Amino acid sequence: MTAAVPIWDMFGLWIGAALTVWLFSFAFKDNALYKLAEHLFVGIAAAYSFTIAIDGILRTGIAPVQQGNILRIFALILGCFFFAKYFGKYSWIARFGPAFVIGVGLGISVTTAPEGFVLAQVKSSMLPLWTGDLLQSLTNILMTFIVLGGLTYFMFTFVPGIRGVTKVTKKTPASHLYAVLVKIGIYGMMIGFGALFASTIVSRVAYLIGRLTDLIASPEASIVATILVIAAIAYAYQHEKKTAVGKIEQKESKKNP
Amino acid sequence: MNSIEKINKILSNRQILYLLLIAVVLGIMLHPLGIPIGIAGQTRDVYNYVDKLPQNPKILMDVHYDPAGATELQPMAGAFLRQVITKSPKIVFFTTHNVGPIMFERLKGYFPDVFSQLKYGDDYVNLGFLPLAEATFASIAKGAQEFVAKDVYGASTADMPIFKVADKAADFNVVVLITTSTDPVEYAIRQWYTAYKMPLLFMVVAVIGPSVQPFVASAQAVGMLSGQNAAAQYELLLKKPGSAVAAVDAQSGAHVLIMIYIVLGNLIYWPMRRMSKKAGGKTK
């Protein structure tokens, strides 16, 4: 015997299952239940974001001031400046908030970005071409050539006459090497994009599995929601047919009054 | 319309693909195939790293995911917590995703065996939603308690014993980012690894796995778990199969269907192109 599920939990499961089925129904045809689910989502998301924002201000802005961290007052004042845009004459004050946010963001990232994003990546790209292990060595060689090829592909000015910048008058060893590296770069990137696309499929299928797991948890709700959505899609088809027929009749009556 | 065109029409039909996908996933979920799951080296590295953490490790965890990402990330987070709970950890949770507070409560609900062993305020705390900004990451590293005066439930953080041992960057043994986005990964690399050399462990959805991999390859992170497959492997390493192991079969089934579609699509493309060239038109 299964344990009794509290009434509100059961209600939540039914609503969740129904909304899932209704949102999936868009893959088959736009219908009234899909629109209902979509509008509910937008409305609830807006209200939720609003409460989360207020909660954040209370916990990280006002509470520290109450505990004696007076400096946070300046942050709160800067935040209030955003509202100045509603007062035409003083709307320019609203720029101080974003300016401060952008300035601080840029300031703290500029100091660490070169080391974290450039130097570390360059260092990790400098691989030994022979390690003693054949497979590892081949991997390293491939990796090195793809890095070089990728960088060469995005080098637009070094070798003239390539890729339609100017006409090639004479092919040189440098331009041949350039062309080979560009090709390696293109294939390397294609493999990279393929991996990204495959990963996207993996994630999207996982999303589907997640939703279907929830639907299996409340089969009665899923079945009822599916029946409702089939009815809504049938109605949408009927409505479309009627309006399409109506439009044709109107056109014909205008042509032949 | 000849047979090639008919097959092309069926393959291009969105409704049929969706129905097949739902049928395959649902069918395998109801009747699992039990396809063996191999353990990847990267997953084993993460498991071994966590296994070697000292007793009473101090952990900082960003629960940056939404209900869509929960299928992949919640089992990973749960498995990690189940492994680390044996070491009596001190965990500071926060989230930079606005749905994060709800996802944290769901995490607690799904793994009551973990959270029942932890005392709120002493062993773990939830700082709630903090804006996803570089300044947030920099401020937490300087002192989480001073930055967030009240936790997600409105209690003052100043009185919580956990912050005596787990507050600043230097206090934490590992930082775990459970995320559906690359933004927190980049902020963590800049503000936590580069500035303080905090050990980072990424748990990410498969779609961003390739983008995060370079940071693991360059040893800027101690490891990464990417996607449902890694979650299933982690559960198997723990010898506690859960929802990820159950879902991997269905994942494989869906992949086979998509592969069949890609192969058939390509097989149909060539005769279609030939027919189109003969007719003097362009290939659709």
Give the residue on A whose Cα is nearest the Cα of B249: A209
- pLDDT bin (cut points 50, 70, 90) of residue B84 is very high
pTM confidence score: 0.86
State residue B133's pLDDT score: 85
| Residue A131 to residues A138, A145, A146, Cα–Cα distance (Å) | 9, 16, 18
Q: Above 80 in pLDDT, residue A251?
A: no
Q: Above 50 in pLDDT, residue A1?
A: no
Q: Which homologous superfamily does the CATH classification assign to the domain defined by B41-241?
A: MTH777-like (3.40.50.10160)
State residue B62's pLDDT score: 96
- Segment A228-242 shows an average pLDDT of 83
- Segment A37-43 shows an average pLDDT of 94
pLDDT one-digit tens code per residue, A193-225: 999 999 999 999 999 999 888 888 888 888 888
CB contact under 8 Å between A109 and B130, yes or no, is no
State residue A238's pLDDT score: 83
Give the residue on B whose Cα is nearest the Cα of A126: B218
Helices (runs of H) and strands (runs of E) counted in chain B? 14, 6
Q: Is A77 on the interface with B (CB under 8 A)?
A: no
Q: How far A78 CA sits from the closest chain B CA (Å)?
A: 15
Average pLDDT, chain A: 85
Report the complex ipTM.
0.86
Q: Catalogue the E-assigned strands of B15-111.
A: 58-64, 90-95
Extents of the domains making up chain B: 3-31+248-279, 41-241
Q: How far A7 CA sits from the closest chain B CA (Å)?
A: 17
pLDDT one-digit tens code per residue, B4-31: 888 888 888 888 999 999 999 999 999 9
Give the residue on A whose Cα is nearest the Cα of B148: A60
State residue B66's pLDDT score: 93
State residue B211's pLDDT score: 92
pLDDT one-digit tens code per residue, B214-248: 999 999 999 999 999 999 999 999 999 988 998 99
CB-closest option in A48, A69, A124 to B218: A124
State residue A147's pLDDT score: 93
CB contact under 8 Å between B220 and A192, yes or no, is no
Residues in chain A closer than 8 A to B191 (CB atoms): 108, 112
State residue A88's pLDDT score: 87
Q: How far B135 CA sits from the closest chain A CA (Å)?
A: 6
Q: Are the C-beta atoms of B256 and B263 separated by less than 8 Å?
A: no
Q: Output DSSP code: residue B218.
A: T
d(CA A168, CA B2): 48
- Segment B257-270 shows an average pLDDT of 92
How many residue pairs bridge chain A and chain B with CB atoms within 8 Å of each other? 152
Burial of A86 (0-12, 13-18, 19+ CB in 10 A): exposed
- Segment A91-109 shows an average pLDDT of 90
